[in-house]
Amino acid sequence: MNDQYRIEHDSLGELQVPKDAYYGIHTARAAQNFTVTGIPLHHFPELVISLARVKKACALTNFESKLLTDIQANAIIESCDDIIEGDHHDQFIVDMMQGGAGTSTNMNANEVIANLALEKMGYAKGDYQHLHPNDHVNCSQSTNDVYPTSARVAVLSKCKELTDKQLELSAAFKERAEAFSHILKVGRTQLQDAVPITLGSEFAAYAVTIEEDVERVIQLSQLLKEINLGGTAIGTCINTPPHFAYKAVRHLSDLVGYELIPAENLIEASSDMGAFVMFSGTLKRICVKLSKICNDLRLLSSGPCAGLGEITLPPVQAGSSIMPGKVNPVIPELVNQVAYQVIGHDVTITMAAEAGQLQLNVMEPVIIWNVLQSLHMLINAMDALATKCVSGITANEKRCNDLLVQSSVMATALVPLIGYEKAAEIAKLSMKKHITVAKAAVELGIMTEEEVDDAFNTCHLA
């Protein structure tokens, strides 16, 4: 047993830690206490990398402030670089859902970096008298500034991937819009026939509604660039050298490749989760739109014989265990469900942001977990929708034309010529006798078929 474990101590006593583990006693306790989701920190590599970047920025600042020796600082920085490059992520084992306002996440990082650094210095794991997780790796820091800062940087690191997927999905709709630009069909409001439209215009509208949120993601992500690093426990900068916050943020900005901003009021920034609420709200907005679009795609492709059947979605798998030949709109269904989940995440984030008390919001872990989950799911869902569905949609042109000819929507084009009342009379007869608008106009003696055709051909369609 002793060959497999080492003994570590904390204020609660002793605990056995796997001998080869780079994490330490605090992480081991957390792994025992927080067994809820089964999703460890390393499930989100962007969060692990962000933690390492924050620790590196602080080590650089502490060295400049003469709080770390050259040997200690170099060992910590090199260990952080290893993690940033993707090494040792499996040592970040704490569950994403945890009590303690993220303390166990911060300590997981402190312990892994400390033990990596000890090995680089020639010492054994757990030999903390030479380099300590709290005294050295966590020097001039608190969970309450490290954790929210790392979370913001992690979310920011995913924004480019999110907007890229938005643009790719919008481009897929634009390409289909161009291909369908000549196809006339029935436009509908309240699921009832309304006025004529082109299938291309319908798909072009989907492209626009997706693309307009790209700028909103970029705008809202700017709120996440204001960080409270250097504020330590409650934003009073206790246990930090002069100008630590400014210097640490400068170093972190260099590491991430964009400018981060020290919060104007570090006390306020230590408890306020408003930026996450706003960003999550934008993800919700995107999902509401995506789900509506997917509802439309399912309706437009319904049938294929007994529904609207105006478009055909690419078949990606057999649809039934009992009905031969059935193919379901599984990709839009998938995106619908992702949208519902992200909207649920937004509710959780909203409630958790409200639940903070006094100088700290202890619900940060569930906020961070839900924002990152939403980003991952949304990025993957939009990729699936673009590549496995939209790009392969085909139009059923004959079906579109048949429904248009049989519909009364063409009567709307007659209103400028004959007025609303006569046009309504034509529409009613068309529906009653199941004849075309042109035939109804002739039967009522209001217009000839040629006059109806001319009116329709000259009406404005987007």
Same domain, 428 and 386: no
- pLDDT for 375 beyond 90: yes
- Model confidence pLDDT, tens digit, residues 150-180: 999 999 999 999 999 999 999 999 999 999 9
d(CA 71, CA 69): 5
d(CA 375, CA 164): 12
End-to-end CA distance of the chain: 76
Same domain, 393 and 413: no
d(CA 420, CA 408): 13
- Amino acid sitting at position 402: D
Question: What pLDDT does residue 461 have?
Answer: 62
Same domain, 312 and 192: yes
Cis peptide before 148 (omega within 30 of 0): no
Q: 97: helix, coil or strand?
A: coil
355, part of any domain: yes
Give percent of the chain with pLDDT exceeding 90: 86
Q: Count Cα atoms within 13 angstroms, Cβ side, for 267.
A: 4
d(CA 242, CA 239): 10
Active site residues per annotation:
320
Q: Residue 132: exposed, middle, or buried by beta-carbon count in 10 A (0-12, 13-18, 19+)?
A: middle
145, part of any domain: no
Q: Average the pLDDT over 92-104 and give the result.
A: 96
CATH, residue 327: 1.20.200.10
Same domain, 384 and 441: no
- Model confidence pLDDT, tens digit, residues 305-334: 899 999 999 999 987 778 888 888 999 999
Same domain, 392 and 421: no
Helices (H), 4-102: 25-33, 45-64, 70-84
440, part of any domain: yes
Same domain, 279 and 204: yes
Q: How many domains does the chain divide into? A: 3
Say if CB 194 and CB 187 are below 8 A apart: yes
Same domain, 378 and 431: no
- Residue 218: which of 282, 289, 291, 287 has the closest Cα? 282
CATH, residue 433: 1.10.40.30
Residue 94: other Cβ atoms inside 10 A: 28
Same domain, 331 and 218: yes
153, part of any domain: no
3-class secondary structure per residue, 333-402: HHHHHHHHHHHHHHHHHHHHHHCCECCECCCHHHHHHHHHHHHHHHHHHHHHHHHHCHHHCEECHHHHHH
Question: What pLDDT does residue 436 have?
Answer: 87
Q: 138: helix, coil or strand?
A: coil
Which range of residues forms the domain containing residue 247? 158-397
- Model confidence pLDDT, tens digit, residues 404-462: 988 888 888 888 899 999 999 988 998 888 888 889 999 999 989 888 888 877 766 65
Question: What pLDDT does residue 248 have?
Answer: 98
- Residue 414: which of 454, 461, 462, 445 has the closest Cα? 454
Same domain, 134 and 268: no
Question: What pLDDT does residue 56 have?
Answer: 98
Q: 319: helix, coil or strand?
A: coil
182, part of any domain: yes
- Amino acid sitting at position 217: V
Q: Which residues contact 40 (CB under 8 A, 6 or more apart)?
A: 92, 93, 94, 95, 96
Question: What pLDDT does residue 203 have?
Answer: 98
Q: 458: helix, coil or strand?
A: helix
Question: What pLDDT does residue 305 have?
Answer: 87
Say if CB 38 and CB 95 are below 8 A apart: yes
- pLDDT for 197 beyond 80: yes
Query: 50-59, 181-190, 283-292, 318-327: which range is least confident on average?
Result: 318-327
- Model confidence pLDDT, tens digit, residues 225-244: 999 999 999 999 999 999 99
- pLDDT for 14 beyond 60: yes
d(CA 394, CA 48): 43
Residue 137: other Cβ atoms inside 10 A: 30
Q: 133: helix, coil or strand?
A: helix
Which CA distances in Å does 405 have to 74, 115, 307, 399, 453?
A: 77, 75, 17, 10, 11
Q: Average the pLDDT over 375-394 and give the result.
A: 98
Q: Count Cα atoms within 13 angstroms, Cβ side, for 256.
A: 30
* Higher per-residue confidence, 35 vs 3: 35
Question: What pLDDT does residue 321 have?
Answer: 75
Same domain, 10 and 65: yes
Question: What pLDDT does residue 151 have?
Answer: 98
Which CA distances in Å does 317 have to 83, 325, 330?
A: 40, 10, 8
147, part of any domain: no
111, 139, 167 - which closes a domain: 139
31, part of any domain: yes
**How does 41-73 read in b/e, with b if 16+ C-beta sit within 10 Å?**
bbbbebbbbbbbbbbbbbbbbbbbbebbeeebb
Relative to beta strand 184-189, strand 13-18 is unpaired
CATH, residue 90: 1.10.275.10
397, 429, 449 - which closes a domain: 397
Mean pLDDT of the chain: 94
151, part of any domain: no
Same domain, 48 and 173: no
CA dihedral 271, 275, 281, 286 (to 10 degrees): -150
Same domain, 215 and 133: no
Q: 52: helix, coil or strand?
A: helix
